[in-house]
Chain A
Amino acid sequence: MLAAPPSLSHTRRMSVDKEAHMRRHHDMGGLEAGPVERREHDYAPWEKRVDAIMRLLSDPKRRILRVDELRRGIEALGPGAYDELSYYERWIASIADNLIEKGVITIDELGRRMAEIEARHEAERAKGRAE
């Protein structure tokens, strides 16, 4: 957990305590964060796909989404989602929010498509179990 407040220089502590509520969640330099996970891991196909989506949206031909906008969307997820989602889950959540804001996709169309894909996966899984 990242609950412990950072310990800041004594000369600043009085005013910084007052300003602590103005620290945004992602801005966590100095907070207790546990050990660094150093194990290498392979990317799942969906993670590679998220990376590819971002590259296509941000390439010089399209310029639909900048990396700064991606990052802003990630920081806007809020403390719960920011801590719980995995790296590429945060990316796709931010990409979706940004594309809705920009009018590239609508909430209605995205919601229907997500339900459709979920149903298809369920059917495929059921089929797999039956075989």
Chain B
Amino acid sequence: MSVGKRFPVGARVRIRRAFPPGHVRAPWYLRGLTGEVCHVVGEFRNPEELAYGRNDGAKLTLYRVRFRQTDIWPDYAGPAHDTLEVEIYGNWMEPAEEKAA
């Protein structure tokens, strides 16, 4: 697997809506949602491959992505500005189309 496209801090990204079996490292409740890159953590080997004893040396970029809690949970009772930050690998992300607000 290639390292893939690098997203800068501030980029709007969408977590791919995909449901493959296996050792998936993207939380189920975030798939299909859009957030913002708030930190580039670094490059690491792919845990989805390492989990099966495979290691081709290729590295993926790990990002910290910030989501609005109200985007995730419709009945979220906390303040509207509350956010959730999740570390997620770049292979699960795609550039988000900016919505015409």
Contact = CB atoms under 8 A, between A and B. Distances in A.
A112 B71 CA distance: 53
A24 B24 CA distance: 9
A102 B28 CA distance: 29
Given A66-B50, A69-B52, A72-B52, A9 B74 contact: yes
A7 B74 contact: yes
Chain B interface category by residue count: 20 to 34
Given A23-B28, A29-B28, A66-B53, 19 more contacts: A7-B73, A7-B74, A8-B29, A9-B73, A9-B74, A15-B32, A19-B31, A22-B19, A24-B28, A30-B72, A68-B23, A68-B51, A69-B50, A69-B52, A69-B53, A71-B23, A71-B51, A72-B23, A72-B51
Smallest CB-CB A-B distances: 4 pairs: A68-B50, A22-B19, A72-B51, A68-B51
